[in-house]
Structure 1
Amino acid sequence: MSVQIHTLANGLRVVTETMPGLQSAALGIWVNAGGRHERVEQNGIAHFLEHMAFKGTRRRSALQIAEEIEDVGGYINAYTSREVTAYYARVLKDDVPLALDLISDILLNPAFDAREIEVERGVILQEIGQSLDTPDDIIFDWLQEVAYPEQALGRTILGPAERVRSFDRANLEGFVAQHYGPGQMILSAAGAVDHDEIVRLAEAAFGHLPASPVSQADPGRFRGGERREVKQLEQAHFTLALEAPGYRSDNIYTAQIYATALGGGMSSRLFQELRERRGLCYTIYSQVGSYADTGLMTIYAGTGEEDLAGLADLTIEEVRRSVDSLSQAEIDRARAQMKAGMLMGLESPSARAERLARLVAIWNRVPPLEETIARIDAVDAAGLRDFAGQMVGSGQAALALYGPVAGGPSLGRLVERLAA
């Protein structure tokens, strides 16, 4: 498997990886513009723009977009995150030119028809309502908000309903003009692809775009805080966050191994102690999510109202204990889980294309898998304990509680117990 990178004269980067033996390809455009690139009055517009991608262009109607990709048995989709908006497709190898033509048409020639804007506005408002009715979705938005208060990084991707109701064609066009320049786009393709062909297609589709300044997001600063929403639900939902490294940090793999050992699987400490031994919850886990300049290690659990205080105390106790007592076997198990998950995921061309785009966005290169595995293997017990001690002892945390949580713990009390 070979990775190749080419940069067009206007700054658009093309990265490909040929996977011999495959008959299909995954490809797309990853735009380095997401929720954290929005001003406060724009909150939700990156996601709105993603929804409008399939609502018609100056060359194709929404139905024609759907029919052309499905006529060849392919699929096309998009997503918005806090740092990226991606437009991608999966097709058989002979249909790669069609897929790239569709994606480039969506990006370069959106119709932004007034009637379609209104239709999609209604769809997004329904999506916001659904999110508000899903406790284990909305609580992570609240946790993000209190972790990064009054910052773009702390605002929701969907945006508040009142903002979404106000967006018009001019707002959409303005965001595209500011953030969709070729220097913020990465064309990534993996599977049954030929690098030279992809570069030729990219030049034909995007080479005419003028180079433009690359817009930068404001830095994220973890502050911590608490949000408690009391509601009569069957479960009390508990989330706690500590600041973790950004994905350019030397400690990123240390943080991921630590979170996996703490709560990343059935053998992890949190799962074994709180679910298997105590029966205090059905779901409990910890994970690390990283951005360019910061990140979060989050712990989530759902429990009954009467068990919330005990669950919170035991969770804090396990976090404190883990700083000094994680065994070599636990660390090695978490390391193996991390490597296996990464390698298994990369058997998919879609996962490979996404990985290529993400790594080019971070490093402007694609480190060989051997280099990544070596960095994971280099994490040792002493370094992990030092890192965990600094993170747990930082004195800052974020807490979000939802459901029958009036009697739940305060953030101040939990932070004191962490530092004890």
Structure 2
Amino acid sequence: MTVQQHTLSNGFRIVTEQMAGLKSASIGIWVTAGGRDERADQNGIAHFLEHMAFKGTERRTALQIAEAIEDVGGYINAYTSREMTAYYARVLENDVPLALDVLADILLNPVFDQNEIEVERGVILQEIGQAHDTPDDVIFDWLQEEAYPNQALGRTILGPSERVSSFSRADLSDFIGEHYGPDQMILSAAGAVDPDELLALAEKLFGHLPPRSLPHTPEAAAFAGGERRVVKGLEQAHFALAFEGPDYRDPGIYAAQVHAIAMGGGMSSRLFQELRENRGLCYTIFAQAGAYADTGLMTVYAGTSADQLGDLATLTIDELKRAADDMSAQEVARARSQMKAGLLMGLESPSNRAERLARMVAIWGKVPTIEDTIERIDSVTTGDVRAFGADLVTRSAAAMALYGPIDEAPTLEALKARLVA
């Protein structure tokens, strides 16, 4: 498997990786703009734009876009995150040129028909309503807002209903003009692909785009922390806690990820064993370490009953404190193995591999070898993980979101006091 990279004269980047033995390929365009690139009055427009990409172009109707890919047995989709928007397809090897042509068409030639805008506006408003009715979804939006208050990074990706209800055709076109320059696009493909063919197609489809004169710089993130408590008559109380972690270029990200896996990354993790298996305080509990360009979040989530929420919250704090002192070499080795296995198993999929290629190019401008990544994971020591845990428990800032029957839940200040006691 060989990774090849090219950059067109206008800044458009191409990265490909052939995977022997496959008859299909995953191909997509990753745009390095997402929710955090929006102004406050634009909140939700990146996601709206992603939806509108499939609603018709100068060459194809919405139905023809779907039929072009599905007639050959393929699959096309998109997603919006806080730092990226991706448009991608999975097709058989002979249909890769068709897939790229469709992707280029929806990105470069959208018509933004007013009737389609209104239809999709209704769809997105339904999506927002569904998210609000899904406690273990909406609680993470609230946690993000508390961690990064009054900042682009803290706002929801879907946006508030009142904003979505007011977006116009001009708003969509303006966001494309601001954020969809060729230097913000990465064509990534993995599987049964021909790198030379893709390079030629990319030059034909994207080479004419004028380069951007001024680069866009998102607002810098500043973790502040805070508490959100929303009382509602649900069956379960939902608890989410976050601390600031390293950004994805920080070498400490590997220790943070190993720590998160050891704490709550599987059935053998500390939080799962102590709070679920030993005490029966919850059904779901996990920890994760996420990262952005200039910050990160170490997050713990659990769902429990109202009368057990206090015990669950305080015992979570106790486990975080204890791990800073006695995280064992065996636990760290197990977490490293889980992290490596997850990486390697995921890369057996061309879709996951294309995603990794695009993200690595966006972050580093190149694709580190798998061997280099494995070496960095293996280099994380027990001391590194304990040190990360010790730093975590002495942080002055934390964020917490609670949802459901949470009247008797401890306050964030009480939990922080217990953490440093």
So what's the TM-score if we normalise by structure 2? 0.99
* Aligned equivalents of 2:286, 2:211: Cα separation in 1: 44
Residues 1:69 and 2:44 aligned together: no
Which deviates the most, 61-70 or 382-391?
A: 382-391
User: 1:194 offset after TM fit, Å?
Assistant: 1.1
* Aligned equivalents of 1:386, 1:336: Cα separation in 2: 20
Corresponding residue for residue 123 of structure 2: 123
Contact 2:327 2:385 (8 Å CA) reproduced? no
Residues 1:13 and 2:13 aligned together: yes
Superposition map of 1:16-415 within 5 A = 16-212=16-212, 213-415=214-416
Contact 2:35 2:157 (8 Å CA) reproduced? yes
Amino acid at match of 2:250: S
After superposition, the CA RMSD in angstroms is: 0.5
**What is the count of residue pairs matched by the alignment?**
420
SS of corresponding position for 1:315: helix
Gaps of 5+ in 1: none
Contact 1:244 1:255 (8 Å CA) reproduced? yes
Amino acid at match of 2:402: L
Amino acid at match of 2:246: P
* Aligned equivalents of 1:366, 1:337: Cα separation in 2: 22
* Aligned equivalents of 1:387, 1:231: Cα separation in 2: 35
* Aligned equivalents of 1:160, 1:309: Cα separation in 2: 31
* Aligned equivalents of 2:20, 2:270: Cα separation in 1: 41
Amino acid at match of 1:419: V
Contact 2:360 2:366 (8 Å CA) reproduced? yes
Residue-by-residue CA offset, 1:233-259 (whole Å, 9 max, x unaligned): 000000000111110001011000000
Contact 2:259 2:332 (8 Å CA) reproduced? yes
Residue-by-residue CA offset, 1:49-74 (whole Å, 9 max, x unaligned): 00001100010000101111011000
User: 1:138 offset after TM fit, Å?
Assistant: 0.2
* Aligned equivalents of 2:313, 2:192: Cα separation in 1: 49
Contact 1:179 1:214 (8 Å CA) reproduced? no
SS of corresponding position for 1:28: strand
SS of corresponding position for 2:28: strand
Amino acid at match of 1:48: F
Amino acid at match of 1:127: E
SS of corresponding position for 2:341: helix
User: 1:388 offset after TM fit, Å?
Assistant: 1.6
User: 1:214 offset after TM fit, Å?
Assistant: 2.5
* Aligned equivalents of 2:96, 2:358: Cα separation in 1: 17
Gaps of 5+ in 2: none
Contact 1:29 1:186 (8 Å CA) reproduced? yes
So what's the TM-score if we normalise by structure 1? 0.99
* Aligned equivalents of 1:240, 1:66: Cα separation in 2: 41
Contact 1:395 1:419 (8 Å CA) reproduced? no
The percent identity for this pair of structures is 68
User: 1:381 offset after TM fit, Å?
Assistant: 1.0
SS of corresponding position for 1:223: coil
Segments of 4+ in structure 1 off by > 2 A?
A: none
